[in-house]
Amino acid sequence: MILLVGLAYNMALAQTNPDEVRAWVRAQWAAADSPLDGIAGSMIDFRLWEAPKLTKEQIAELEKLVEGKPDHPARQEIKAGKRQLASGGDERRYRVWANSATEYRISEDTPYEEFRYIDVARAAGVRWQMVPVQLQIGEGEAGPGAMQASYTAVLLGYFRFGGFNMGRPIELTIENINVHGTKWDALARSKKSGLEMQFTGRWDPVAKRGFVERVVNLKCPAMPEAVGNEHRFDNWVENAQLGAWIAGIAEERTRDGAVKVRYTLDGVTPYTAAEFDALTRLPSVDRADPVREATTYKSVYDYRPGAREKVERREGGEEVPVKARPAVEPSSWLRYAGWGVLSIAAVLLIVLRLRRSQMA
């Protein structure tokens, strides 16, 4: 048996062409530039689990801090911390229908938050974002839902490209690709931020492709404490519906190995052109939504040229124009790039929450 295993390994080594491995890494790096492209006709369903952020002891300390201060902002942190400890962590669900990077519907379920869900779509030149209490409408690259789509594309790229998609927004460049038998590693650097990340994985000479297994943050001048944090990717399978390989699990880990966030692929299912049209159609209070069924929003912000900026719906169907609040620049998340291997997901999530707070 040992002899057979050794023989198989030697055969694999003999079939591994280092130049072929390097070419694959560079090709995947380029393809990962747009995770929403290349999945037309396939809905990708996945979950994000986030570990509790606070211990019982930390919550107790915060409770002392807010005692006698009913308006202290840390009270929300305490509330979330207790919920996470009781449930074992927060979990949200994502469903992605994407004909391309400019035509998509993304649905996120967050049952534990004030806004139980957030849906964004872009098609036929119009983009919109809907939460239970509000609908926002816009067009072009910058507009409602752009930030949510960018964030979800990052997460989707974990499954499709094993984190290679992290390179573009933080301006990383592949500098060295080393091949050691059926193992490979690639060093990526950003001259602007000084960030260095190492991608490591394996090569399958039969499938003629590689698989990212680990991404480690080697240097991060802006956030030294993030050095050693990593992403891991596992359960790679060839999905018949996608016609491509996809990871089943992705994890964000701290330097001591603790799992901070886990992403789990739940399935890939087909959708038709008619279903996509219904999914991306501008929501209306007069008809059911394919995902949310009855719409419940009470107000509408319309940022399209020539449209009223905001309309407040009142009982009896009355619509009253109201002065709109300024929209957050959707591309502003790029300013936060370069803050460590965990920063893309974490920083985007922070910016998203800031945007949601403005809609309250």
Average pLDDT, consecutive stretches of 10 residues, N- to C-terminus, the chain (360 residues): 52 76 95 93 97 89 87 86 87 97 96 89 94 90 88 94 85 92 95 92 95 95 90 97 96 94 97 98 90 87 73 58 46 35 44 46
Q: What pLDDT does residue 193 have?
A: 85
* Domain contains 95: yes
Distance CA 349, CA 360 (A): 17
Q: What pLDDT does residue 25 have?
A: 96
Residue 134 in contact with residue 300, Cβ under 8 Å? yes
Distance CA 139, CA 303 (A): 8
Distance CA 121, CA 12 (A): 45
* Domain contains 326: yes
* Domain contains 6: no
* Domain contains 182: yes
At what angle are helices 343-359 and 146-161 packed, to 10 degrees?
150
Q: From the CB of residue 90, how many other CB atoms can be counted at a distance below 10 Å?
A: 19
How is residue 228 written in tokens? 């050693």
Domain count, the chain: 1
* Domain contains 250: yes
Distance CA 201, CA 239 (A): 20
Q: What pLDDT does residue 7 have?
A: 52
CA atoms within a 13 Å half-sphere pointing along the CA-CB vector of 244: 18
Q: What pLDDT does residue 211 have?
A: 98
Among 176, 225, 183, 182, CA closest to 197: 176
Q: What pLDDT does residue 120 have?
A: 97
Distance CA 6, CA 241 (A): 35
Q: What pLDDT does residue 246 have?
A: 97
User: What are phi and psi for residue 46, nearest 5 degrees?
Assistant: -145, 165
Distance CA 118, CA 104 (A): 14
The parent domain of residue 33 ranges over: 17-51+89-359
* Domain contains 223: yes
* Domain contains 140: yes
* Domain contains 192: yes
Among 170, 162, 188, CA closest to 339: 170
User: What are phi and psi for residue 86, nearest 5 degrees?
Assistant: -70, -35
- By residue count, the chain amounts to 360
